[in-house]
Amino acid sequence: MIELYTWTTPNGRKASVMLEEIGLPYRVHPINIGKGEQFTPEYVAINPNSKIPAIIDNEGPGGKPLRVFESGAILIYLAEKTGKLLSKEPRARIAALEWLMFQMGGVGPMFGQAHHFLRQAPEPMPYPSERYVKETRRLYGVMDKQLGTQPFLAGEYSIADIATYPWVARHGWHKVELPEFPNVDRWFKAISARPAVERGMNVPPTAA
């Protein structure tokens, strides 16, 4: 059994979508980041960075428990544990890792900053809002170009798509209309139609 520490946000949904896709049993432990539950000593022992998501695999390497934090590391760990969603063929594998790192270093932080300045700043802040919206749109352009040549970010459906999808699902928050980026739109619809994705995007339910 995998213990999943998560909340209703895009980084958390990467882990729950992955767990639904690979079909491993897991137990959800909601960590309400709005109430500061990520800062409790119990949770910091699991994720020293006080962010969701994190997992504990009770049947980790050698049959012993293993904790994993950072969503990208969680996706790689679960892919390698199950042999799913990360090719073992060297070229396909590095392509998937490239687009996973593109998400971790670009899409997540930049979209996240756009959301912060557009939605949470105490007063309108044009300079940072424009900076992060502009970079967000540039990243959509990069994805759109790539998805014009391949069905998924790294060719086959992979952990790179699972990492990116929950952030694109918040396109309304960063004021992007998906039809502006037709290849991203096609990719988004294809992933949205996957039953495992639908289930994982509801963990924990948004009203929780």
Ligand X SMILES: N[C@@H](CCC(=O)N[C@@H](CS)C(=O)NCC(=O)O)C(=O)O
- Provide the binding-site residues for ligand X, judged by CB under 6 A: 9-11, 33, 38, 50-52, 70-72, 108
- The answer to whether 40 touches 196, Cβ cutoff 8 Å, is no
* Minimum CB–partner distance for residue 15 and ligand X (Å): 8
Beta 66-69 vs 26-30: how paired, if at all?
unpaired
Q: Outline where the chain has alpha helix (H).
A: 10-22, 41-44, 71-82, 90-102, 108-115, 126-147, 159-168, 182-192, 195-200
* Minimum CB–partner distance for residue 116 and ligand X (Å): 10
Indicate the residue among 71 and 158 with the shorter CB distance to ligand X.
71
Cα 149 to Cα 96, 144, 153: the distances in Å are 15, 9, 9
Indicate the residue among 96 and 144 with the shorter CB distance to ligand X.
96
* Minimum CB–partner distance for residue 37 and ligand X (Å): 10
* Minimum CB–partner distance for residue 9 and ligand X (Å): 3
Indicate the residue among 50 and 183 with the shorter CB distance to ligand X.
50
Indicate the residue among 119 and 189 with the shorter CB distance to ligand X.
119
State the sign of the Cα–Cα–Cα–Cα dihedral 33, 38, 39, 42: positive
DSSP assigned state of 104:
I
